[in-house]
Amino acid sequence: MADKVIATIVGARPQFIKSAPVSRALAGHFREVLIHTGQHYDHGMSDVFFEEMNIRKPDFHLGIGGGLHGEQTGRMLIEIEKVFTEVKPNCVLVYGDTNSTLAGALSAAKAGIPLAHVEAGLRSYNRAMPEEINRVLTDHVSTFLFCPTDVSVANLEKEGISSGVHRVGDVMYDALLHNMELARGRSQVLSRLDVKRSEYALATVHRAANTDDRDRMSSILEGLGKLKARVIFPVHPRTRKMMQEWGLSVNFNVQLIEPVGYFDMLILQENSNCILTDSGGVQKEAYLFGVRCITLREETEWVETVSAGWNRLVGADTQRIIETHASWHPQTERLPLYGDGHSAEEICRVLVSALE
């Protein structure tokens, strides 16, 4: 099997994390070629993850960061096609819902190469989100659809997709279990920021629907600034850029910091008393850590965290952000929604069986 080639395409921070356990599982069964599109291109959002998680360096770094969605996706298509011509993969593996995901999916489909999509079947049902378009289109050209939850399987069934669908659990859970002990031993982020367990809230904002809308961004910052809590806010480069352009500031209780590495982020999540975010991955990790999550969106692709009573959707409404943080605490037990931490092994098993 080691003569079979799998081309793995990553480009954004969550994809580096998701790919690590799968790459470990694939080793010895396939020759994996790692292609980094460069979608996240600064050190704090990209290189540091390869370094601290001991992920091998990409075989190809396409260096395609920035630009409008169409331009970025188009440039990725051109460069990925060149790589496929050189390495001739037997299967292409993509993760999540970014422009890198869609570019990899379309490149594979055009070249007639089997496509595997990890995190298939997620739906927010908001077609205004670029991520929703990316995930829907990717699913509809995929050969192997690796779903994290029963809900994601049901979503695909509604769209007439049943062939090649596998409910494998969530590779982010695999990654979290693998990395938490390392994080606890290595991260000094709590002492560096002079915070203690349960004495702060953690905020992240990066989705275009929030960052590119001045009113929404202003309302979110006002809400964070009126919380009766210290708020640690690692600021995504896109968010910082728009805040500067619009002259938006925050109250003294909100501490803006540079993006942090994966280990630091895990520790900040585990020890916070509340997480406020528009990130799908962070919502899910909040659930896995048993930390209440307030989602700064009107919808979520991780609907089961809401149904389970550990996630509340508040949008960008200042008053709802303040009131939910002040008065809401989960009252239900956390169910094992995301598998047993062996999702990567199941993905590998399916691919070995199919491609032998």
| Tokens standing for residue 302 | 């991780």
Domain shared by 127 and 93, yes or no: yes
Domain shared by 64 and 154, yes or no: yes
Determine which one of 36, 117, 206, 325 is catalytic: 206
pLDDT at site 17: 87
| Tokens standing for residue 228 | 């009766």
Domain shared by 244 and 300, yes or no: yes
pLDDT at site 332: 94
Q: Please tell me the distance from the alpha carbon of residue 95 to that of residue 332, in angstroms, as a whole number.
A: 31
Q: Tell whether 179 is covered by a domain.
A: no
Domain shared by 313 and 343, yes or no: no
Please, which residues have CB within 8 angstroms of residue 176's CB and are 6 or more apart in sequence?
266, 285, 288
Domain shared by 207 and 317, yes or no: yes
CB 287 within 8 A of CB 310: yes
Domain shared by 17 and 136, yes or no: yes
CA distances from 17 to 134, 220, 281, 322, 349 (A): 19, 27, 10, 32, 20
Domain shared by 257 and 303, yes or no: yes
Is pTM beyond 0.95? Reply is: no
Instruction: Specify which residues 275 forms β-bridges with.
Output: 202, 293
Q: Tell whether 124 is covered by a domain.
A: yes
| Tokens standing for residue 129 | 């989100």
DSSP string, 73-88: HHHHHHHHHHHHHHH-
Nearest to 102 by CA among 68, 128, 70: 70
Domain shared by 90 and 147, yes or no: yes
pLDDT at site 1: 59
Count of other CB atoms within 10 angstroms of residue 124? 19
Q: Tell whether 12 is covered by a domain.
A: yes
Number of domains in the chain: 2
pLDDT at site 50: 65
pLDDT at site 42: 54
- 206 counts as catalytic: yes
Domain shared by 196 and 308, yes or no: yes
Q: Tell whether 246 is covered by a domain.
A: yes
Domain that holds residue 312: 189-327
The CATH number of residue 294's host domain is 3.40.50.2000
Q: Tell whether 178 is covered by a domain.
A: no
Q: Tell whether 333 is covered by a domain.
A: no
Domain shared by 28 and 116, yes or no: yes
Q: Please tell me the distance from the alpha carbon of residue 290 to that of residue 302, in angstroms, as a whole number.
A: 15
Q: Tell whether 175 is covered by a domain.
A: no
In the numeric block, the tokens 């004495």 are attached to 199
pLDDT at site 247: 96
- Extended beta strands in 119-240, E state: 144-147, 165-167, 200-204, 230-234
Domain shared by 13 and 143, yes or no: yes
Q: Please tell me the distance from the alpha carbon of residue 212 to that of residue 48, in angstroms, as a whole number.
A: 26
Measured in degrees and rounded to the nearest 5, phi and psi for residue 279 equal -90, 130
Domain shared by 157 and 10, yes or no: yes
Q: Please tell me the distance from the alpha carbon of residue 347 to that of residue 24, in angstroms, as a whole number.
A: 11
Q: Please tell me the distance from the alpha carbon of residue 260 to that of residue 276, in angstroms, as a whole number.
A: 16
Max distance between CA atoms of the chain, in angstroms, equals: 59
Q: Tell whether 26 is covered by a domain.
A: yes
CA distances from 274 to 87, 99, 200, 207 (A): 46, 30, 7, 19
Q: Residue 118: helix, strand or coil by DSSP? A: strand
Mean per-residue pLDDT pooled into runs of 10, the chain (356 residues)? 89 87 94 89 57 79 84 94 97 96 97 98 92 96 97 98 98 93 94 97 94 97 98 94 95 96 94 96 95 97 95 98 98 93 98 94
pLDDT at site 199: 97
Instruction: Specify which residues 30 forms β-bridges with.
Output: 27
